[in-house]
C-alpha cells in the first residue's frame, strides 16, 4: 500500500567528526521517503525552491517515490539547515536555519493522495499536521513525529494532533515533556491515554522501545564501528517502520515488532554515511542481512 508523507525537504550543511558536507540533500520527508521506498510506494508532500536540483528529484523518482505533491516555488529558496555534531554524535548543534519556502508551507494533497491508507506526519507545525488530517480521507493508520519546539510552542494544537493519530514516534525527552512524567513507563502510559495506541520511543544509539497493547518491546540499536552522520536517523527509522507496516498491512504486536526492527535496520545504514549516500546504494540483500544481524544481536534462550 502507498504511504503518504508530509514534511520538510531540505539542503543541509553538515559538520561531524568524520567531515563536512555542503548542500547535502536532507529533510525529514526526504529521509522518510528514501527509507520507506525499500518497502512500499511513497507519496511525498513538501515544498522546495527552484534552487532544488533536478538530480535530487530524479533520485527520489528512481526509488519510486511519487513527487507529484512536491511543490516547487519559482524564485523561492529551499529550506536550509546548518548543523554540527560533537564527538558524542548524539545531538546536533544548529548553527543556522533558513526556512525559505518552507516558512509558508501549506500542504495540499493531490486528489489521488487523499485516499492514502498510511500517513506519516513528519515533524512540522501541528496546525499543518491537522490540515493534512482534514484532507486525508479515512486513512487506516496515521503516525506522527514532533519536537520540543512544538511541545512547548503549540501544546494545544499538538494535543489535538495526538488525539487523532494511531502511532506517535518521539524520543525519551519528548515523551517526558508531553506527559510531564519523568519515568518513561509512566510517561508512555500517559501519552497513549492522550490518543495514540502505539508509541515508539526512539533512543538513538540505545535503540527504541515500542509500547503497544499493554506490551513493551525493546529493540537495540546496532553498535556500529563508524557513525559518519546521524542526521535523519529518526526519520529513516520512521520510514522503515511505517514502510514495513504499509507493505504488510498487519498491526498486531508481532508485526509491529518486526516493523521496529525494519526501522532500526534502515537507520543503522543511514548513519554510516553523510546525507542519503548510504541509502542510495543500499540493496535488499544488505537489508536482509542486517535484519538477521539484529536478530543475532538480541537473541537469547532461557
Binding mask 88-127 for its own copies (x = CB under 8 A): x---------------------------------------
Tell how strand 215-219 and strand 208-212 pair up: antiparallel
Binding mask 56-85 for its own copies (x = CB under 8 A): ------------------------------
175 DSSP β-pair partners: none
Q: Which of 9, 92, 142, 227 binds its own copies (CB under 8 A)?
A: 227
Q: Does 149 bind its own copies (CB under 8 A)?
A: no
Among the listed ranges 70-78, 117-125, 152-160, 293-301, the one in contact with its own copies (CB under 8 A) is 293-301
Distance (Å, whole) CA 166 – CA 142: 5
Binding mask 241-260 for its own copies (x = CB under 8 A): -------------x--xx-x
Q: Is residue 36 a contact partner of residue 246, using CB atoms and an 8 Å limit?
A: yes
In the sheet that 198-202 helps form, which strands lie side by side, from edge to edge? 65-73, 42-49, 3-6, 118-121, 141-145, 167-171, 198-202, 208-212, 215-219
Ramachandran angles phi, psi of 278, nearest 5°: -70, -40
Distance (Å, whole) CA 278 – CA 86: 21
Q: Which residues contact 286 (CB under 8 A, 6 or more apart)?
A: 269
Q: Which of 95, 193, 216, 289 binds its own copies (CB under 8 A)?
A: 216
Q: Which of 206, 249, 250, 286 binds its own copies (CB under 8 A)?
A: 206
Q: Does 140 bind its own copies (CB under 8 A)?
A: no
In the bound complex, what is the minimum distance in angstroms from residue 259's beta carbon to its own copies?
10
Q: Which residues contact 250 (CB under 8 A, 6 or more apart)?
A: none
Distance (Å, whole) CA 141 – CA 42: 15
Q: Does 173 bind its own copies (CB under 8 A)?
A: no
Q: Which of 61, 68, 115, 215 binds its own copies (CB under 8 A)?
A: 215
Q: Is residue 297 a contact partner of residue 268, using CB atoms and an 8 Å limit?
A: no
Q: Does 217 bind its own copies (CB under 8 A)?
A: yes
Among the listed ranges 145-153, 158-166, 180-188, 270-278, the one in contact with its own copies (CB under 8 A) is 180-188
In the bound complex, what is the minimum distance in angstroms from residue 144's beta carbon to its own copies?
22
Instruction: Give the number of other CB atoms < 10 A from CB of residue 93.
Output: 10
Q: Does 185 bind its own copies (CB under 8 A)?
A: yes
Residues that bind its own copies (CB under 8 A): 17, 87-88, 182-186, 203, 205-207, 209, 215-221, 223-227, 254, 257-258, 260-261, 291-292, 295-302
Amino acid at each position: 500500500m502507498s504511504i503518504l508523507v508530509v514534511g520538510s525537504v531540505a539542503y543541509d550543511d553538515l559538520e561531524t567528526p568524520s567531515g563536512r558536507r555542503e548542500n547535502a540533500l536532507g529533510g525529514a520527508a526526504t529521509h522518510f521517503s528514501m527509507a520507506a521506498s525499500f518497502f512500499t510506494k511513497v507519496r511525498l508532500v513538501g515544498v522546495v525552491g527552484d534552487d532544488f536540483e533536478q538530480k535530487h528529484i530524479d533520485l527520489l523518482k528512481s526509488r519510486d517515490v511519487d513527487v507529484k505533491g512536491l511543490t516547487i516555488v519559482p524564485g523561492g529558496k529551499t529550506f536550509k539547515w546548518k548543523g554540527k555534531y560533537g564527538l558524542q554524535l548524539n545531538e546536533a548543534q544548529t548553527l543556522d536555519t533558513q526556512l525559505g519556502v518552507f516558512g509558508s508551507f501549506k500542504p495540499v494533497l493531490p486528489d489521488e493522495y487523499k485516499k492514502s491508507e498510511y500517513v506519516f506526519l513528519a515533524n512540522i507545525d501541528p496546525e499543518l499536521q491537522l490540515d493534512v488530517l482534514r484532507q486525508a480521507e479515512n486513512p487506516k493508520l496515521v503516525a506522527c513525529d514532533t519536537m520540543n519546539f512544538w511541545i512547548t510552542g503549540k501544546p494545544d494544537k499538538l494535543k489535538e494532533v495526538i488525539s487523532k493519530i494511531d502511532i506517535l514516534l518521539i524520543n525519551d525527552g519528548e515523551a517526558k515533556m508531553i506527559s510531564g512524567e519523568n519515568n518513561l513507563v509512566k510517561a508512555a502510559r500517559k501519552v497513549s491515554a492522550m490518543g495514540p495506541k502505539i508509541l515508539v520511543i526512539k533512543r538513538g544509539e540505545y535503540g527504541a522501545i515500542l509500547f503497544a497493547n499493554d506490551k513493551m518491546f525493546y529493540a537495540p540499536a546496532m553498535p556500529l564501528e563508524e557513525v559518519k552522520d546521524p542526521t535523519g536517523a529518526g526519520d529513516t527509522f520512521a520510514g522503515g517502520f511505517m514502510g514495513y507496516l504499509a507493505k504488510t498491512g498487519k498491526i498486531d504486536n508481532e508485526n509491529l515488532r518486526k516493523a521496529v526492527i525494519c526501522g532500526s535496520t534502515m537507520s543503522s545504514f543511514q548513519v554510516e554515511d553523510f546525507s542519503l549516500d548510504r541509502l542510495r546504494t543500499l540493496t535488499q540483500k544488505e537489508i536482509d542481512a542486517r535484519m538477521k544481524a539484529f536478530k543475532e544481536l538480541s537473541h537469547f534462550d532461557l
